[in-house]
Amino acid sequence: MSKTTNRPIPKRAAPRTPAATLEAADAREPRGARRKRETRARLLEAALKLMAEKGMEGVAINEITEAADVGFGSFYNHFESKEAIYATLVESVFEEFADWLDRLTTGLTDPAEVITVSVRYTLMRAHREPLWGQFLVREGLSSRMLARGLGQRLLRDVQSGIVAKRFAVADPFVAFLSVGGTVLAAVTAQLGLVAPEAPNADALNAFDFSSEHLAERVAATLLQSLGLKRAEAEKIATRALPIVEPAVEAD
């Protein structure tokens, strides 16, 4: 495939992880408020790591507080329950990312390019942030996620392409499952290379799996599964991506 280039879209920032949000906060805030925010961020970071590994059901509150080095009782100063901290993670990890993708693709009129940009940025972020990718794989096709941000957004985009007669599929829901499942499988394979000790690493090596241009390869294959010809699918999949530049702070 041809080498991709990027075209700038100014003044839009990518979603931030809890740690990045913490760093960006105003250093002049009162000490008590800063400590409270730092504690909450540590709890979220610990919960993300544990729930990415075990799922929400497999994690106890005391595991979260121990990993965050926070007193057990302090947990309830920030969250009502384990389900509440999970919901907050989903909001920050998936809902904000889905909203960001919507802003990023606002000016695109081709449903095929909308799907492509979303798939490529999802794989790129999972490569850059393996823990985010692990959490995505863990929760991606759960009943909870099918009704939330990324899942609903993907279903909407597939349906839009069908309505516009851009995609030729017999069953919209199966097409949605196919796209979502392929992305999750690609993230899983990608994580196997990022973490060589992963259980699937040997199998991937046996198949000579390569992560080179993986996002573009996955996007092109998915477009073909949605009815596009191979040449057009590859052309769209390697088209210049809209990029995100740091937000410009007001004086």
pLDDT at 139 over 90: no
Write the pLDDT tens digit of every residue in 193-213: 545 455 555 665 666 566 788
226, 111 contact by CB (below 8 A): no
Beta bridge partners of 7: 242
pLDDT value at position 112? 97
Q: Which of 130, 111, 106 is nearest to 219 (CA)?
A: 111
What token pair was written down for 88?
């907050």
pLDDT value at position 189? 85
3: three-class secondary structure by DSSP: coil
CA–CA separation, 20 and 36 (whole Å): 16
Confidence of residue 90 (pLDDT cuts 50, 70, 90): confident
Q: What is 105-242's CATH number?
A: 1.10.357.10
pLDDT at 124 over 80: yes
CA–CA separation, 48 and 51 (whole Å): 5
Lowest mean pLDDT: which of 34-38, 166-170, 221-225? Answer: 34-38
Question: Which of the 8 DSSP states describes residue 250?
Answer: P
59: three-class secondary structure by DSSP: coil
Q: Regarding predicted confidence, which is higher, 15 or 196?
A: 15
Lowest mean pLDDT: which of 55-59, 135-139, 171-175, 242-246? Answer: 242-246
pLDDT value at position 80? 93
Lowest mean pLDDT: which of 8-12, 170-174, 232-236? Answer: 8-12
Q: Regarding predicted confidence, which is higher, 69 or 191?
A: 69
Any idea what the Cα angle at residue 192 is, between residues 149 and 212, rounded to 5°? 85
- pLDDT, the chain, mean: 81
Question: Which residue ranges does the chain devote to CATH 1.10.10.60?
Answer: 11-81
- CATH architecture assigned to 11-81: Orthogonal Bundle (1.10)
Q: How many CB atoms lie within 10 A of CB 230?
A: 11
CA–CA separation, 231 and 170 (whole Å): 22
Question: Which residue ranges does the chain devote to CATH 1.10.357.10?
Answer: 105-242
pLDDT at 218 over 80: yes
Q: How many CB atoms lie within 10 A of CB 246?
A: 10
CA–CA separation, 251 and 242 (whole Å): 27
